[in-house]
Chains A and B, each alone.
Chain A
Amino acid sequence: MLGGIALTLFCLWFSQNNHLLPVPASANAGAIDSLFNAMLTIALGLFVLVQGVLIYAGIRFRKRPGDETDGPPIRGNIPLEILWTSIPAVLVLGIALYSFEIYSEMGGLDPMASGGTMVAHNHGSHGGMAIAATMGEDSAADALMDLDSKGKALAYGVGAGRDEAASADLDVDVMGLQYAWIFTYPDTGIVSGELHVPVDKAVQLNIKAQDVLHAFWIPQFRLKQDAIPGQQTSLRFKPTVTGRYPIVCAELCGAYHGAMRAEVVVDSPEDYDTWQASMVAAVDPANKVTLAAATEDFQALNPKTMSDRDFLEPYGSEMGVTSQSFQGLPHHHLH
């Protein structure tokens, strides 16, 4: 009995004080961490129980030299078996309900994001479409895929939380390609290789992929969503802590998958405005660059791969990204 209490206390203490997760930097990250801590408490308890029984049995019940008799012929114990069937059943039911609750709270069940019925996916309306339409040969298919014939949005992912407004404060179109992320801000026309978001504002990412599957992951936001060519997916979050966090590609996308990283910068409102102003100034429609220059820009995105020009050249030209999409790309951000 005392042992049980001590075990419970130990599990609780360990789970509440673990440093197994990176800093939670979005509004929902804390909820997911609580879920993790709860599951860790239960798991730890069961782990100690099972290992304890194994080690105890290994010592206490080991065969003594010279003892050639059998153990007691116990074949079962119905109450005990009912107990260890029902306790895990109740535990997993609890975890399932808790997960469901958190998932719905963080916006996983939002019909706008998860393929339910909606009229149209018209965030950032014209700007977004227009820029998307300039990108790559799949653009027509992409535009089609936004809406199917029945007027359903085919976007999967995490949407607006239960208590949040349906539309976000900031929309960003995300394009994954071998081996970079490109962020387009439909409202301002900014195109960037680095994601800047203002702190405490709801941000909606509309994620697409140009070539193969990628996965957009920000560990500090506890959010991940595959980028699927021909389909749109989305993520919604509200950053709460300013700072720079990694954006990681989590779905194998080719040889340089490990190098496909970017950064998200959570700015204070002032910093964000400054950044936005500087980027808008750089967008000059008259300043068209050639495709070759765009390719070079693209290589600049991946400093680690500069020495592998030969490898990247074909991808660069295959991309078919018009120069405009690239002109705002800063060269120095990914070092």
Chain B
Amino acid sequence: MAQLQVRPLAEENFPEKTGGNWKKYFTFNTDHKVIGIQYLVTSFIFFLIGGALATGVRIELATPDVDFVSRELYNQLFTIHATVMIFLWIVPAGTGAFGNYLLPLLLGCNDMAFPRLNAIAFWMIPPGGLLLMGSFFINEGAAASGWTSYPPLSLVNGKSGEFIWILSILVLGTSSILGAINFLTTIIKMRTPGMKFNNMPLFCWAMFAASILILVSTPVLAGALILLSFDLLAGTSFFNPSGGGDPVVYQHMFWFYSHPAVYIMILPVFGTISEILPVHARKPIFGYLAIAYSSLAISFLGLIVWAHHMFTSGTPAWLRMFFMIATMVIAVPTGIKVFSWLATLWGGKLRLNSAMLFAMGFISMFVIGGLSGVMVASVPFDIHVHDTYFVVAHLHYVLFGGSVFGLYASIYHWFPKMTGRMINETWGRIHFVLTLVGFNLCFLPMHYLGLMGMPRRVAEYDPQFATINTICSIGSYILAVSTIPFVINAVVCWRSGEKAPANPWNGLTLEWTLSSPPPEHNFPTPPVLKTGPYDYGTLDKRGSKKRPISQLRASDILSN
């Protein structure tokens, strides 16, 4: 095949200039680092919006009666809350932000495989998000049938809100698919010479597994939504039983995407955690290959478990049994990861800074979500707790305790690299404590609510649950407040924090060989690896002079 010379557009548009040029973040820029930060900031803004919606939900639920918002608005609040958190915060932040920012740096290349496609994918996010937000202001209000949007309910609620929701998901899904094409091509084709699959950083493995899931499952959701919009607007009856359709078919198509979506949201975070722990524990990652291949195992199993969301729906018994067993098997590769992380910590020299605290908090919280996950996989038990607050608690332990804690850890870890400034540690720790306390106060009691008989997605509930709901609501207020020190800390330090050295954490992956922030085209020459990504504690054995790691230099990682 022809060896084309592909010049990234960036070079023509932006003369060499590092840092300080904030305007570039508002343009169609093709530098993967700019795009990564664009993703991160945009999705974090949507995180705050989604959090505000959740706070609205919790204010309503602080009392058993409907007294804060109308029932109709309440349903819109939780529907858009979930949609925003999934499609506009965790997916774009995990894959878009860190995938884009880190992959080329970790792989030792200068940009993603398709920089312009990358920029296009990002610039689909703001319009998709604004469209969704805008639906609150139309007459019938936003979509109100839950983020699952099950027909026939989604066909009888406000049509325009529902259609805007579909449109927005299609735009965001397309963006996600374009991103995945870029990630896969970059990982498969553009690793620096000497970097094989089996010695690339684990984040790359995680992104590889997550991108496969995006590529395979998101289109099926698009198919479902196309059919749903025909039912909604053209009067067909694919999912409408009154015209001979079958609503359960929608559920299958929806969950064929939306269960893998959970892994799309958690796998990149698994990846960053595997990067963060060895650096701050000063030890090699424990069980590299086991962690790498367990990502692939999770990715594969994630594709064949979707109907465990439908145990109480129109699902025949043998399918319920198959999906129960397949789902439980996922606990094995997940357990391998958790135990490997614990073993990485064991015997290390742990630097308990904000990044590390959030990473350890991630393990701690995610394990709770994982354990309750095995429980809800059990069909007889799930028949009791399906669609209750037990499931709400479970999914928040996975997606907030898991993904969001991991994303916070990643932000603290790579903040110096991204901005060139150190972030304030004291405020970082205050943020951690507030988040941990607020999160557990909000979500731990929900397990009990669900077990005792409180269904999810209700604006009003049995007064016997009032006390515990009030506690949950207080927890959610603390959680809302916890973002304030973080945002102030991040903004202040980005503007005027202490200047960050190239390698503040003495990491061994390639991004730390570059200045903070890295120059526009990353590596002057393709880097040649001298160490593996996790060779902590071994430098002296490799012929380098043993010296305190505080003096670690790029030359210890790269050979010249």
A residues with CB within 8 A of B: 20-22, 31-32, 35-36, 39-40, 43, 46-47, 50-51, 53-54, 57-58, 61-64, 67-77, 80-81, 84-85, 88-89, 91-93, 95-96, 99-100, 102-103, 106, 108-110, 113-116, 137-138, 141, 154, 156, 158, 211-213, 215, 217, 219-220, 222-226, 228-231, 233, 246, 248-259, 261, 304
Q: How far, in Å, is B141 (CB) from chain A's closest CB?
A: 11
Q: How far, in Å, is B452 (CB) from chain A's closest CB?
A: 6
Q: How far, in Å, is B325 (CB) from chain A's closest CB?
A: 5
**Cβ of B286 under 8 Å from chain A:** yes
Contact check, B371 vs A46: say whether CB atoms are below 8 A apart.
yes
By secondary structure, the A interface counts as mixed
Mask for B436-462, Cβ within 8 A of A = 1, else 0? 000000000001100111011111111
Q: Which 3 A-B pairs have the closest CB atoms?
A: A230-B241, A258-B458, A219-B453
Tell whether A53 pairs with B345 under 8 Å between CB atoms, given A88-B332, A99-B381: yes
Contact check, B328 vs A95: say whether CB atoms are below 8 A apart.
yes
Tell whether A224 pairs with B367 under 8 Å between CB atoms, given A92-B331, A230-B246, A250-B455: no
Q: How far, in Å, is A153 (CB) from chain B's closest CB?
A: 11
Residues of A within 8 A of B483 (CB): none
Residues of A within 8 A of B459 (CB): 255, 257-258
Tell whether A20 pairs with B381 under 8 Å between CB atoms, given A71-B283, A250-B388: no
B residues with CB within 8 A of A: 66, 70-72, 74-75, 144-146, 150, 152-153, 156-157, 241-242, 244-248, 281-288, 290, 312-318, 320-321, 324-325, 328-329, 331-332, 335-336, 338-340, 342-343, 345-352, 360, 363-364, 367-368, 371-372, 374-375, 378-381, 383-384, 386-388, 447-448, 451-453, 455-462, 534-539, 548-550
Contact check, B290 vs A76: say whether CB atoms are below 8 A apart.
yes
Residues of A within 8 A of B461 (CB): 258
- Bound form: Cα–Cα A61–B351 in Å: 9
Contact check, B460 vs A96: say whether CB atoms are below 8 A apart.
no
Residue among B284, B332, B462 having the largest count of chain A Cβ atoms under 10 Å: B332
Please give me the residue from chain A that is nearest to B367 by CB atom: A50
- Bound form: Cα–Cα A73–B348 in Å: 9
Contact check, B152 vs A92: say whether CB atoms are below 8 A apart.
no
Please give me the residue from chain A that is nearest to B280 by CB atom: A63
Contact check, A61 vs B364: say whether CB atoms are below 8 A apart.
no
Taking a contact as CB atoms closer than 8 A, the residue among B145, B321, B367, B460 that contacts A252 in the complex is: B145
Residues of A within 8 A of B247 (CB): 213, 228-230
Question: 17 interchain pairs (CB within 8 A)?
Answer: A32-B380, A61-B350, A64-B349, A68-B549, A70-B536, A71-B283, A73-B536, A81-B287, A88-B335, A92-B329, A106-B380, A213-B247, A215-B455, A217-B455, A255-B74, A258-B71, A304-B460
Q: How far, in Å, is A296 (CB) from chain B's closest CB?
A: 21
Contact check, A89 vs B367: say whether CB atoms are below 8 A apart.
no
Residues of A within 8 A of B146 (CB): 252
Tell whether A224 pairs with B379 under 8 Å between CB atoms, given A50-B367, A53-B346, A68-B548: no
Taking a contact as CB atoms closer than 8 A, the residue among A40, A72, A213 that contacts B283 in the complex is: A72
Residue among A31, A51, A224 having the largest count of chain B Cβ atoms under 10 Å: A224
Taking a contact as CB atoms closer than 8 A, the residue among A68, A74, A80, A255 that contacts B71 in the complex is: A255
- Bound form: Cα–Cα A254–B349 in Å: 54
Residues of A within 8 A of B452 (CB): 20-22, 219
Tell whether A254 pairs with B345 under 8 Å between CB atoms, given A73-B283, A75-B288: no
Contact check, B367 vs A228: say whether CB atoms are below 8 A apart.
no
Taking a contact as CB atoms closer than 8 A, the residue among B244, B335, B372, B453 that contacts A84 in the complex is: B335
Residues of A within 8 A of B245 (CB): 230
Q: How far, in Å, is B230 (CB) from chain A's closest CB?
A: 18
Residues of B within 8 A of A80 (CB): 343
Please give me the residue from chain A that is nearest to B331 by CB atom: A92
Contact check, A73 vs B156: say whether CB atoms are below 8 A apart.
no
Residue among A71, A215, A248 having the largest count of chain B Cβ atoms under 10 Å: A71
Q: How far, in Å, is A274 (CB) from chain B's closest CB?
A: 28
Please give me the residue from chain B that is nearest to A231 by CB atom: B314
- Bound form: Cα–Cα A223–B384 in Å: 6
Please give me the residue from chain B that is nearest to A155 by CB atom: B314
- Bound form: Cα–Cα A35–B451 in Å: 14
Residues of B within 8 A of A252 (CB): 75, 145-146, 150, 153, 457
Residues of A within 8 A of B372 (CB): 43
- Bound form: Cα–Cα A39–B376 in Å: 10
Residues of A within 8 A of B534 (CB): 75
Contact check, B342 vs A54: say whether CB atoms are below 8 A apart.
yes
Query: Apart from A96-B378, A255-B72, what are 13 other A-B pairs with CB-CB below 8 Å?
Result: A22-B451, A61-B281, A71-B282, A75-B286, A84-B336, A92-B329, A96-B325, A115-B316, A215-B386, A215-B455, A228-B314, A252-B153, A258-B71
Taking a contact as CB atoms closer than 8 A, the residue among B72, B282, B316, B538 that contacts A114 in the complex is: B316
Residues of B within 8 A of A100 (CB): 321, 324
Q: How far, in Å, is A141 (CB) from chain B's closest CB?
A: 7
Q: How far, in Å, is A215 (CB) from chain B's closest CB?
A: 6
Residues of B within 8 A of A51 (CB): 364, 367
Contact check, A108 vs B283: say whether CB atoms are below 8 A apart.
no
Contact check, B248 vs A73: say whether CB atoms are below 8 A apart.
no
Tell whether A20 pairs with B317 under 8 Å between CB atoms, given A73-B535, A224-B312: no
- Bound form: Cα–Cα A63–B282 in Å: 9
Residues of A within 8 A of B451 (CB): 20-22
Please give me the residue from chain A that is nearest to B550 by CB atom: A68
Residues of A within 8 A of B448 (CB): 20
Q: How far, in Å, is B248 (CB) from chain A's closest CB?
A: 7
Contact check, B368 vs A226: say whether CB atoms are below 8 A apart.
no
Contact check, A47 vs B368: say whether CB atoms are below 8 A apart.
yes
Residues of A within 8 A of B150 (CB): 213, 251-252
- Bound form: Cα–Cα A211–B447 in Å: 31
Residues of A within 8 A of B348 (CB): 57, 61, 71
Residues of B within 8 A of A84 (CB): 335-336, 339
Tell whether A54 pairs with B349 under 8 Å between CB atoms, given A73-B283, A108-B379: no
Taking a contact as CB atoms closer than 8 A, the residue among A219, A228, A304 that contacts B248 in the complex is: A228
Please give me the residue from chain A that is nearest to B387 by CB atom: A250
Tell whether A73 pairs with B537 under 8 Å between CB atoms, given A230-B246, A246-B453: yes
- Bound form: Cα–Cα A89–B332 in Å: 6
Taking a contact as CB atoms closer than 8 A, the residue among A75, A102, A138, A154 that contacts B380 in the complex is: A102
Residues of A within 8 A of B364 (CB): 50-51, 54
Contact check, B336 vs A92: say whether CB atoms are below 8 A apart.
no
Q: How far, in Å, is A269 (CB) from chain B's closest CB?
A: 27
Residues of A within 8 A of B75 (CB): 252, 254-255, 257
Q: How far, in Å, is A123 (CB) from chain B's closest CB?
A: 19
Contact check, A71 vs B455: say whether CB atoms are below 8 A apart.
no
- Bound form: Cα–Cα A80–B344 in Å: 13
- Bound form: Cα–Cα A56–B414 in Å: 26
Residues of B within 8 A of A217 (CB): 387, 453, 455
- Bound form: Cα–Cα A71–B348 in Å: 5
Taking a contact as CB atoms closer than 8 A, the residue among B153, B316, B351, B383 that contacts A254 in the complex is: B153
Q: How far, in Å, is B270 (CB) from chain A's closest CB?
A: 15
- Bound form: Cα–Cα A233–B491 in Å: 55
Residues of B within 8 A of A228 (CB): 241, 247-248, 313-314
Residues of B within 8 A of A116 (CB): 316-317
Residues of B within 8 A of A230 (CB): 241-242, 245-247
Q: How far, in Å, is B371 (CB) from chain A's closest CB?
A: 4
Residues of B within 8 A of A61 (CB): 281, 345-350
